[in-house]
């Protein structure tokens, strides 16, 4: 039976038998907790872990999206456990963590993904709105990390994945709450990594920096812009992010950059922050809006969940524009292989040069 209230949880029907291609025994399933799992990146990440046979604790405020995500996890061969929780409240997050471990077992991977924001000019965002966006996006990641470490540190194992953004390095107009929160997550991430290293802990903390993605946030986040908000192009599908998040959870990489736009945003800002600022001031207001009018009175998820779901809960309305793959992300995940390939090519080139240039 489903019960109400933040921090509540319920069990889905028993999952179907595991597909034959998944060879892990049920007791060997990896256990992962995902915040913001009802849509967007969190929904895509839940699917990705389910494809690998994981047991997935799904945490969010929207019941319809959580139920749909749970069905997908089951259909893909995973085991879902669904938990209504507002990540802005530590007790709700900690309660969800306890319920996940009771239902699924010790959490191996915790993914802090939940977010909300306000698309507006700084001076037009109320104090209450700014505080709420910060509590969900920044403190939600802090509370999730605390809940995870409370369980992982005594076991001396586990991984916490922070979902970051190129905007953790470079703030842009109309998104000061979101950019501020991502900068703050990066700062707490760096501090905590120092502490974990100091104590010799084997718990791993990683941050995945993402580009603009085609997610439902551009339909559901509060916006007062006259036209429909959109990601800064070029944009990618959320599955691009999910593949890198899954990879980051299983490799001890400090940070993972996803998408070439993320790379040139971060590096460009380091090399010429003033130039980046002038460029964004000139282009990013219009560049974050489509040509379509936007009804600012539509339901926004800042204070209450938009409790609906659609056929592609991970996707927004920009499927035509979004890239399904990123060559840069693939190269980042396989840089050892590509490095060896580059070294082999360089060696072959040197050998050819020696043969050609060798005296007769």
How far apart CA 287 and CA 269 sit, in angstroms, is 18
User: Among residues 178, 246, 257, 279, which one is catalytic?
Assistant: 178
Active site residue 279: no
The answer to whether the CB of 210 falls within 8 A of the CB of 258 is yes
CA distances from 173 to 135, 279, 291 (A): 20, 11, 18
Buried-exposed string 107-118: b where 16+ CB fall within 10 A, e elsewhere: bbbbbbbbbbbb
Tokens encoding 265: 């945003």
How far apart CA 124 and CA 194 sit, in angstroms, is 37
CA dihedral over 324, 328, 329, 330, signed as positive or negative: positive
Secondary structure E strands in the chain: 9-10, 31-35, 55-60, 79-84, 109-112, 118-119, 159-163, 204-209, 222-223, 227-229, 255-257, 289-293
Contacts of 161 (CB under 8 A, 6+ apart): 109, 110, 111, 112, 206, 207, 208, 245, 248, 249
3-state DSSP call for residue 291?
Answer: strand
Tell me the catalytic residues.
178
């Amino acid at each position: 039976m489903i019960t109400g209230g933040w921090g509540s949880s319920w069990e889905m029907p028993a999952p179907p038998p595991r597909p034959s291609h998944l060879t892990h025994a049920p007791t060997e399933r990896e256990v992962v907790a995902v915040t913001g799992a009802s849509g967007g990146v969190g929904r895509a990440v839940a699917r990705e872990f389910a494809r690998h046979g994981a047991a997935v604790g799904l945490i969010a405020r929207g019941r319809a999206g959580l139920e749909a995500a749970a069905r997908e996890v089951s259909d893909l061969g995973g085991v879902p456990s669904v938990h209504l929780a507002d990540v802005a409240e530590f007790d709700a997050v900690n309660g969800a963590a306890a319920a996940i471990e009771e239902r699924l077992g010790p959490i191996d991977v915790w993914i802090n993904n939940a977010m909300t924001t306000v698309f507006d000019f700084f001076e037009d965002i109320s104090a209450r709105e700014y505080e709420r966006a910060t509590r969900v996006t920044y403190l939600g990641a802090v509370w999730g990390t605390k809940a995870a470490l409370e369980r992982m540190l005594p076991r001396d194992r586990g991984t916490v994945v922070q979902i970051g953004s190129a905007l953790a390095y470079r703030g842009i107009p109309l998104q000061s709450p979101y950019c501020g929160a991502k900068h703050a997550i990066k700062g707490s991430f760096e501090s905590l990594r120092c502490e974990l290293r100091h104590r010799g802990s084997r718990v791993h903390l990683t941050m995945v920096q993402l580009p603009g993605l085609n997610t439902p946030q551009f339909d559901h986040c509060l916006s007062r812009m006259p036209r429909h908000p959109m990601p800064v192009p070029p944009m990618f599908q959320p599955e691009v992010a999910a593949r890198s998040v899954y990879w980051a959870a299983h490799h001890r990489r400090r940070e993972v950059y996803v998408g070439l736009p993320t790379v040139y945003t971060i590096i460009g800002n380091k090399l010429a922050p003033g130039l980046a600022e002038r460029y964004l001031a000139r282009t990013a207001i219009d560049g974050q809006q489509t040509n379509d009018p936007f009804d600012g009175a539509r339901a926004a998820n800042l204070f209450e969940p938009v409790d609906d779901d659609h056929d592609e809960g991970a996707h927004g309305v920009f499927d035509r524009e979004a890239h399904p793959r990123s060559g840069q992300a693939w190269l980042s995940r396989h840089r050892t292989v590509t490095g060896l390939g580059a070294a082999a090519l360089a060696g072959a080139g040197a050998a050819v040069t020696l043969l050609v240039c060798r005296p007769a």
